[in-house]
Chains A and B, each alone.
Chain A
Amino acid sequence: MRRIGYILALSLSHCVTAGADELQIDQAAKANYAFVAISKPGTSSLSIDQHGNTNVISSVQITPDLNTLTTTQSGWSNTITIYQNGSIDYVAAVQSGPYTSAPHNNPSTSYDVRETEQGFLATFESGDVSIVSLTSENMTYVSRFGRRR
């Protein structure tokens, strides 16, 4: 395990699966950002895998009972910041240098939001970038604007 890897990394496909308990987020763009801010319901259980040149996870889990987070990052630059405040808090983080020669995704621009058991999961993908946020309703601050505001 390394905190920061220095080997070229290329991509896998992006997918998000929501199980009954654990919610898994996979990101495989050149630059992957995952932001988590969960305060409800009583437990929070996440797994985040990132494979790209730059991988960033910022997680705040403050559900009252159980907060678990398992992460895997492989890339040139891997960053994690975690804050947990529950009765039981658990983190497993694996950071490594890039390990695959598969090409990165280069997805067209899309923005999608869906509601999961643990909050609103918003995904923005475009070109070299994948940005995912998972936020409880009371920690979700969003505006919409444009020609048809």
Chain B
Amino acid sequence: MQGKCATMRRQTSGRRVALQSAVIAAASIMLLPSDLVAGQPQNAAATERAETPARTGSGSCAAYGPRAKALGDTNICVLASAGVMAYVFKEFTDTDIEMIGQRIPVPFLDAGLPLAFYHKKDISHETNKIGFGALATADLMLVHMSQAGLLRGYVRASFDGRSDYDEDGKVRLSLPKIDDSYYYGALNEAWVQFNGLKVGIQPSLFGFNRVPSILNPTYTSEITTAAASFTIGYARNFTVSISAEDGSRRNYTEGILSREFSKSMNPDWVGLVRYATGKSLYHFSAARHEAYDTVVRDFSGEGNKTPVSGWAVAAGVQTKVAWDEYFGERFKRTPGRLSLTFAAADGAIGYLGIPFFAPDYVVSSSGEVERSSGWSAVAAYEHVWAPAWKSTLSYSYFSVEMGSPAEAIIPPDIGPLPLDVPVTMMDFDIKVRGSVLQGGIEHKLAPGVTAGLEVGYTWTEAEGRYGGHKAQELSVGYPHVGFYLRRVF
């Protein structure tokens, strides 16, 4: 629409992260025990490799799994894998909630008055056709064990193309971009690890490590970012980790209500504690998000960068449900897996793993910052019905609230004497809530080949206040369905 629309930095979407996790995951219906304590690779494929007892690998590399091969006489082991997935999906709706941010030039407010609105947007051009996509990933790990310790290097790249219908209904190819680069968007992980120290593009310590659905993401944080992390293992089942992470991939900013940037010299600090018992894995993480904002400087031409910060915490548990303990031996081959995760954030909404319904904060003309806050939670259950059949059921919920600092339309000190009337203030507050209920079934067609069907219902609700006056609640809900076929090598 109008004039200068803000350019938003695209990040890898939650759907894409979920897809990548799906393809790198083993094609088998394996549920447990896939989760290692922190400091280990957080994808299921790598985990499976690392935990599989030595059977058929070559020489000393057998300790890293059946696929590990020795690299000549170098005492270096190589593990490589690849996967492809094709999928189709359909959303049964013509509308969805869209947010509008606007900064309006107003007398006495040099940087303008920030306002946000919500409404139902017609998205029928996107949803009246079937969406489709394809994803190919390849990963490579090198491992070297010496007396000094464990040295590993890991790279994972992907081609992730999906349909994107423009307003004329024409289909285009959409590829993920990070920092306006397709190359960064294609490089999912690239890190080097020496014992507990890992440096490079790696999974953030903040997120829990499994997404139960494939095509439609749940509201859980799972992101890879440039980081330096260090893990101390106090016991085999108890680790403490800390990392300095590039916070730019967490910035939720749309350029008008806020303009948030991160400095490499001022990273996000993330801490993680993981504790495992025989059946359960517990996760506690916390993050401090650091950035600066330039929106007041950019609009008023005066002032400096404004330091901004936020925080986030998360807790989760994943546990194996051994049904044979309750119903007898015949259920031994049909275990389940229950996972619960919760995250809360203030000024760091990017840690919630939710759609972009609120920036991290809103900055007033005077430079005052009002941080957005919210929380998200996921409950998921996966069940193995037979060696080749698995089902999933999950419910995700989020709630996020954003607002602007109140500002006087007529400053009370404008004249020689204070105005002897009530000062008219203007601000906004918007709360957005949403949930996704979805179920899926997955069937192993052949070794390495899996087909899956997912159905779900997404619901979103927004309501706001402007200058203390209540606006109406707005609600949108729609079902969706998807089918995928994947092959791992």
Flag whether A82 is at the interface (Cβ < 8 A): yes
Contact flag A141-B102 (CB < 8 Å), given A81-B409, A124-B119, A126-B472:
yes
What A residues does B356 contact at CB under 8 A?
A: 145-147, 149
Flag whether A30 is at the interface (Cβ < 8 A): yes
What A residues does B115 contact at CB under 8 A?
A: 131
What B residues does A66 contact at CB under 8 A?
A: none
Inter-chain CA distance A37–B98, complex, in Å, is: 24
A131 touches B2 (CB 8 A): no
Contact of A126 among B126, B355, B409, B471 (CB under 8 A): B471
Inter-chain CA distance A120–B107, complex, in Å, is: 19
What B residues does A107 contact at CB under 8 A?
A: 472
What B residues does A136 contact at CB under 8 A?
A: 3
Contact flag A140-B469 (CB < 8 Å), given A58-B107, A81-B108, A131-B115:
no
**Which chain A residue has the least Cβ–Cβ distance from B5?**
A142
Inter-chain CA distance A78–B349, complex, in Å, is: 37
B472 touches A108 (CB 8 A): yes
Contact of A122 among B102, B256, B359, B474 (CB under 8 A): B102
What B residues does A129 contact at CB under 8 A?
A: 466-467, 469-471
B426 touches A135 (CB 8 A): no
What B residues does A14 contact at CB under 8 A?
A: none
What A residues does B123 contact at CB under 8 A?
A: 148
Contact flag A37-B119 (CB < 8 Å), given A56-B424, A109-B471, A147-B460:
no
Contact of A142 among B1, B118, B120 (CB under 8 A): B1
Contact flag A142-B6 (CB < 8 Å), given A58-B409, A111-B100, A147-B357:
yes
A144 touches B469 (CB 8 A): no
Contact of A143 among B100, B107, B421, B472 (CB under 8 A): B100
What A residues does B103 contact at CB under 8 A?
A: 141
Other than the given A37-B106, A109-B120, A143-B100, 5 more pairs (CB < 8 A) read A79-B424, A131-B466, A142-B2, A147-B96, A147-B356
Closest 6 CB pairs of A and B: A140-B3, A111-B119, A126-B471, A143-B6, A127-B472, A31-B469
